[in-house]
Chain A
Amino acid sequence: MKKILFASLFLIALVSCTEEFEKINQNPNQISDQLLKQDFNLVGSPFSGMLLNLFGGQIEEDLLHDSWMGYMNTPTDFVGNVNNTTYYIRWNSFWGRTYNNVMSPSKQVIRLAEENKLPLFATWAKLIRIMSISKLSAYHGPVIYSNYGATTPTINYDKESDLYDQFFKQLDEIQSDFAANKAYTGFTKFDPSYKGSIPAWMKLVNSMRLRLAMRLSKVNPALAKAQGEKAMADPAGLINTNSENFLVSLNGNIMPVAQICWQWDDTRMGGPIESFLVGLKDNRISKYFTPVSDVSLAADHPAYPYKGIRNGAYCVAKADKVPYSKVSNDFNSAQTRRGFTASEVAFLKAEAALRGWAGAGSAEANYRNGVKLSFEDWGAGGVDAYLADATSKPIDYVDPKDPRNSNKAASTITVAWNESDNLELKLEKIITQKYLNTFTNTLEAWVDFRRTGYPKIPPVAKNDSSPDWGIIPVGEFIKRMPFINAERTGNAAGVADAVSKMGSGAKDDIATRLYFDTGVKSNF
């Protein structure tokens, strides 16, 4: 009997210990909050990732507004040449990137900042949220913001006008928090953009306010003016020099456009930007793009051996357009990308001057300064001759492989400022130069285009819009991105509510105008 007892004890010994289970089930290659508390990493460490995720990649930028605005286009006939670039929606993922990689971690950061008595980190996170959500709203219109983190089955979206009201109010709070802590150095280690300088972030806050105010210049001129003037009057100042530019670290990753272009051969120079850069004899062309090795491709302008692909181009075979101009090889070694430049601020002020906003200065001075800042930023020479050129105009675009893609130049402007031009023409020059400056950071160019109609670019060569995602009439342009499928099915009531918030007759399609896109042609 004793032996049976021993045997039974042996059996019990096999299964006696379960206290260690929690430890066993932890992955030793994951880092705990406990360890992250050291050096205050707990609160600060997610910031570089959140900042990087203010931007997208191939299926959020390159095949969307990079292509729609004519900066880049793809030589690849993705999904049978019927895709976002030709107005048939295949990719819609900036939404997921924003919520998973900015909103979700920032929610945790705000909580941890409060728990760990580091309130300025919460302030910082709130600023990043505004930058992120104001971008997302420029794709979709209403988005989830004030109700973010709700546990209700239906989560309602914020109406666009409400979003901007909240942005401005929160920027006030953020600016006053920062103003009270100008010497704070807690961000230094976690801030690849400004090395923790609060005064530098304050300039970005003002610049953001000016950018968002300008979006509303037509739909709510009074609010736009008030906020724009506030931005320009704030003692912290704006981003006025290139050394103050808001640059976002790529965190060791390759610049997306370089990877898409040089490694995947999936993107090339755009036809519309070729039309501007070549036509206006713009020296930034060599900073943005690589000359073609087969010069016969640029037979229409051999002095500028560059060739782009028309927006919404017909693609028969990828091989046709792979030899077209790549982006500059410099992008392969880029460590940062541009988020907000002094040049953009100058053009915002130039437009503000046209609109009579106090504190903007003269439109001409700001315009000329914007162009100079841009040339300086991109390292291009000959800016004085460029600014003086009153004759060169955008050229017609010729696709040497497929004439269906060729187009007459849509714009006839020149570079030189002419004070006797009317407001509309002046604005076109300002926005065109703003467009030419903001290469690789192109979302705001799409916003400006929908808001003002500038720069004048050709419509897509191939328009595959259909009732599936909404019809864009011939000669017209895409207006917005639809809400994502997961929300359409998983938060259907929220989406229905959001659609109703876009106004009567609005649909969740690509043809419904956003709040800042009034549909009124005249800008003044």
Chain B
Amino acid sequence: MFSATFAQTRQVTGKVTGVNNQVVASASIKVKASNLATITNADGTFSLKAPNGSFVLQVSSIGYESKEVAVSASQSIVNVSLAEQSTDLNEVVVTALGIKREKKSLTYASQQLAGEEIRRAAGPNFMEALSGKVAGIDIKVSASGVGGSTKAVLRGARSLSGTSEALYVIDGVPMVNNKGAQPGSYGGNDRGDGLSSINPADIETVNVLRGANASILYGSQGANGVILITTKKGKAGKTVVDFNSSTVFEQVTGIPDLQFDYGTVGGDLNWSKTKGNYQKNYVNDFFQTGTIATNSINVSGGNNQTTAYFSYSNITSKGAMPTNTYGKNTITLNQSTKLFNDKITLSSNVIFANEKSYNRPGAGYYNNPLTGLYTFARDKDFASYKENYQVFDQGRNLYKQSWYSTYEFQNNPYFELNNNSKLATNNRVIANLKLSYDIMNHVKFETRANIDYNDVLYDNRYAAGGNSVSVSPNGSWSYTKYKDQAVYADGILSYNNNFGNLSVTGLLGASYQNNTFNDGMNVANGTVSLQYPNFFSFSNMPYNVIFNSTISKTVKQGVFASANIGYKEVLFLDVSARNDWASTLALTGNQSYLYPAFGLSAVISQMIQLPEAISYLKVRASNSQTGNEVPFNVVNPWNSIGGAGGPSGIGGINRNSQVPFTNLNPEIITSNELGTDIKFFNGRLGFDFTYYNSVSTNQFLSLAAPSGSGYSSYFVNAGKIVNKGFELTIDAQPFRTDNFAWSTNINLSRNQNEIVELIASNPNYQVGGDDEGFASIIKAGGSFQDLYIFKFNRNSAGQIILSPAGVPTKAATQVKVGNVNPDLIAGWNHNLTYKNFFASVLINGKFGGVAFSKTEAFLDSYGASQRSADARLNATIPINAVSSTGTAVTSIDPVLYYSSIGDRNKIMEPYVFSRTNVRLGQLAFGYNLKINKASFLIKDASFSLVARNLFFFYKEAPFDPEQSMSTANGMQSNDVFSMPSTRSVGFNVKLTF
């Protein structure tokens, strides 16, 4: 059945150029109606095995009009000049199914960003670079600095038990993003996520699929949208070496507004009303200038048979928080070989990443240097606590913390930094093998196997003699070690053919996923004392500390089929379906579930005559369903061992008291979207608009069982959560001359979330609850993460009711004051070039939503805020209140006022702010040096100055609400003594050899 059409071959070479004779690298070169193809290398040249006789060469590249060139039988050199793309008519993009397809045939929204754009600001986190450059994505970055985690949500949160975060896919294989623990009100450290293993220098393109369309290939993981990462590959031709070096300096800008004029009454709270002359700079001096040095080298090359790409990168960073360091090494090796007359392509990719972070800044009350730093008693000598952060305890013959306060959340900041070490390391390998086999004309078989293995360690050691609330008298040790392992394999049989006006692409596939997460152990003695002080070893654990084994396992198998039928290349229909079998639904009888998807797109501009200004118009619609399995081990869990049971006894068994749930169903998410791409003036102005609506039903909910039922908890399938909104991208090239070009792009999106119903029979059911005065609640009739707090207790006239002691009283119940999610997300991006100079400017904005600062609440109630000093200077605070006897009160003593509100969980009304903020997110300015002399070792050089988070055009909250203390579901837009935001400025050098 082998086709023998191109039995004999010859070599054709050539060069592809674009505007002004610039070379076009990575252009796709293909012999029409065959599988003979290659791509151009960095200098635009290519060499291709071509059939004898005449043929047609198809040349395409992103940003250029595709071109077909007839090649005669005698021609061996083919130089092709491509016109810059005026419409995206034939733009090729990576689809949800991991295959490349013309963008016009897509029935859903997709936005692509080049790797260059991501690396522009030399940030170590590639996701942060997406913020504002892609529509419809809400990105929050952990305040913990380099190596910290990210939360990226497309089209709103929908999962009550999960994070609703997008799936990351590298070269077609889903990537593990098993996020570590996150800080809460009481403390903790960001334990990072799987994304930091990616070396930004390896990224060729990032494609954002906002809808659930990729779930046909990836199953439920695709339901929250997909970030498709295509990595750089080796190219046939000359060997190219790229060297990139950047150094970025970070400075703290978001320190709260503190007072240093008023000291304490009684030595702890700064409530003196008499001004003193105290140290003022110790907070600013506490932080240091952070540095992030990134160096990477990529080597790529190959021949027609085999191509290879190698890269190494290193990040060495010192945080703005003293003693915080981070280091990362990444090695990537990628090769692709064609075998058996190019019928088989075998490619492999290996990524190795090693990360080590030390004293990554945390948040929350305990073991956080910032609590003690900010609330420090102004009339005491900070320098002495800095130098003598520990004192020798004669009674114990060891050093203990030197600190004056009895408030349990306070530590000596330097004791915390120097004596309590927090180490996190991970070693990760992602390796995959891909085989592509042209079985016969029109039929292709592809199979991929991937293993993602990560070895993770968190080792936190707290010295003896520290804070007695959080640390045992002999010290505390929290040790977690586990591996994450994900095995992924798929096979896809595809068929591609044209029948007259009809083009047909069909595929049939199967996938297998076996995920084992958190496979390891943890142990933490907490406040149960270690046997011997400051020795952190298993052998030093007291008998009554439990060593926990941990694991979570899921096996999922799926089969899927999809067909794309095109009519005259202007009308496209997509039909697909997937069936999954999930191990977590075993025993329910529902472990197998099917979900379909449909889509339609039409290129109107090629169907009917439109006004000349409109150069391109496409409309699209799609509907997809996704089934989502339930978490591991919830259907019928067994019993656990309750503890050590005394030095001689046995530990009791905690019997599982959850109602067995054998009728559990998968969650179903139905999404619809409608969109249009429209381009004007030969493509110089373009709009891409999408309206979507997604409905999640059958959510997996946990409930406390009624007291009398005999059980403690049970699960139900219930709920209906609707997300709807729009995304709009506007692209424009207002100026384009030979020397000067300005292109700009605006991304806007809005998501509206509605919790239509959770449990119909229990309308008060809610997910989430009060967390120390901050309640982020999901409840029927509201939206995801509505913020509830205690307001002032007011009478019907709106006056604050004072207690007999004259203190403002708190309302009886918490009320909703807003939602933490923004109403509108906007980004405005500019790229300018003038001759060899280039510049890029990004303005980021989030509009609407609320943010909450527990930090400010603390600072006010401990007299540490500038606000409390200003009020003391005025001696009074105006207030619209009424006394307990009913007389109007118009002013109140500042000390009385501030010490009765705020704090951990008092009246929080004054600490809710608008999340709205607009910032100069990114600025880069540089020069490209083109070296045309062949004798020169360096072919290309570029130098740029880069800056991130330079300043805010507008911000109401006293902290950066886009920096998150936690990237988990709760605590969003909440600040509890998290690391203040930073501004980064640096330079970037790129050399190509």
Contacts and interface: CB of A to CB of B under 8 A. Distances in A.
B707 A49 contact: no
Interface string A84-120: 0000000000011001100111011100000000000
A18 B581 contact: yes
Contacts of A25: 553, 583-584, 586-587, 632-633, 635
B633 A27 contact: yes
Contacts of B640: 29-31
Given A12-B510, A192-B646, A265 B493 contact: no
A253 B269 contact: no
Interface string B602-638: 0000000000000000000000000000001101011
Contacts of B591: 18, 21
Contacts of A147: 708
B649 A192 contact: yes
A155 B707 CA distance: 9
A279 B631 CA distance: 61
A76 B643 CA distance: 30
Contacts of A189: 650
B639 interface: yes
Contacts of A259: 527
A29 B657 contact: no
Contacts of A18: 557, 581, 583, 591-592
Interface stretch (B401-409, B868-876, B956-964): B401-409
Interface string A197-208: 000000000000
A138 B490 CA distance: 63
Contact of A36 (B552, B558, B653, B704): B653
Interface in B211-267: 266-267
Interface string B582-598: 11111100011000000
Given A49-B654, A99-B712, A319 B512 contact: no
Interface string A129-168: 0000000000000001001111100010000000000000
Interface in A1-44: 1, 3-4, 7-8, 10-12, 14-15, 17-18, 20-22, 24-33, 36, 41
Contacts of A15: 510-512, 557-559, 581
A48 interface: yes
Interface stretch (A177-185, A209-217, A244-252, A431-439): A244-252
Interface stretch (B144-152, B439-447, B747-755): B439-447
B489 A252 contact: no
Nearest to A494: B708
Interface string B759-797: 000101000000000000000000000000000000000
Contact of B655 (A46, A144, A468): A46
Contacts of B22: none
Interface string A298-341: 00000000000000000001111010000000000001000000
A80 interface: yes
Contacts of B53: none
A45 interface: yes
A55 interface: no
Nearest to B407: A318
Interface stretch (A60-68, A357-365, A387-395, A483-491): A483-491
Contacts of A484: 707
A155 B712 contact: no
Interface stretch (B108-116, B128-136, B543-551, B973-981): B543-551
Contacts of B584: 25
Interface in A246-275: 249-254, 259, 262-265
A24 B556 CA distance: 11
Residue picked from B407, B592, B706, B712, most chain A C-beta under 10 Å: B706
Contacts of B500: none
Contacts of B416: none
A484 B708 CA distance: 13
B552 to A, nearest CB: 8
Contacts of B553: 24-25
A50 B642 CA distance: 11
Interface residues of A, number: 82
A54 B150 CA distance: 44
A274 to B, nearest CB: 21
B679 interface: no
Interface in B413-462: 437, 439-440, 443, 445, 447
B642 A144 contact: no
A99 B757 CA distance: 29
Nearest to B907: A80
A490 B582 CA distance: 33
A12 B543 CA distance: 51
B710 interface: yes
B581 A21 contact: yes
A251 B704 contact: no
A147 B707 CA distance: 11
B559 A80 contact: no
Interface string A223-262: 0000000000000000000000000011111100001001
Residue with the highest number of chain A CB atoms closer than 10 Å, among B266, B583, B708, B905: B708
B657 A105 contact: yes
Given A11-B508, A144-B708, A491-B708, A36 B639 contact: yes
B268 A317 contact: yes
B647 interface: yes
B587 A45 contact: no
Contacts of B180: none
Interface string B545-578: 0001111111101110000000000000000000
Contacts of B267: 319
Contacts of A149: 708-710
A11 B558 CA distance: 10
A127 B549 CA distance: 34
Interface in B698-733: 704, 706-712
B905 A79 contact: yes
B707 A26 contact: no
Contacts of A155: 706-709
Nearest to A32: B638
Contact of B527 (A41, A80, A263, A494): A263
A192 B709 contact: no
B468 A41 contact: no
B268 A319 contact: yes
B937 interface: no
B775 to A, nearest CB: 14
B645 A192 contact: yes
Q: Which of A8, A82, A105 has the largest number of chain B CB atoms within 10 A?
A: A105
Given A8-B493, A21-B581, A24-B583, A250 B709 contact: no
B605 to A, nearest CB: 38
A367 interface: no
A489 B704 CA distance: 12
A3 B555 CA distance: 28
A249 B652 CA distance: 11
Nearest to A316: B899
A454 interface: no
A31 B707 contact: no
B743 interface: no
Contacts of B406: 265, 318-319, 322
Given A11-B493, A25-B632, A99-B707, 10 more contacts: A3-B445, A12-B510, A18-B581, A24-B583, A27-B632, A147-B708, A264-B468, A265-B468, A319-B405, A486-B704
23 contacts: A3-B439, A4-B439, A7-B445, A14-B511, A18-B583, A21-B586, A25-B583, A27-B551, A29-B549, A32-B638, A45-B652, A49-B652, A96-B704, A100-B657, A103-B710, A148-B708, A149-B709, A151-B709, A155-B706, A264-B469, A318-B406, A322-B406, A491-B708
Which 4 A-B pairs have CB atoms at the shortest separation, nearest pair first? A252-B544, A155-B708, A49-B652, A21-B586
Interface of A: 1, 3-4, 7-8, 10-12, 14-15, 17-18, 20-22, 24-33, 36, 41, 45-50, 52, 79-80, 82, 95-96, 99-100, 103-105, 107-109, 144, 147-151, 155, 189-190, 192, 249-254, 259, 262-265, 317-320, 322, 335, 468, 484, 486-487, 489-491, 494
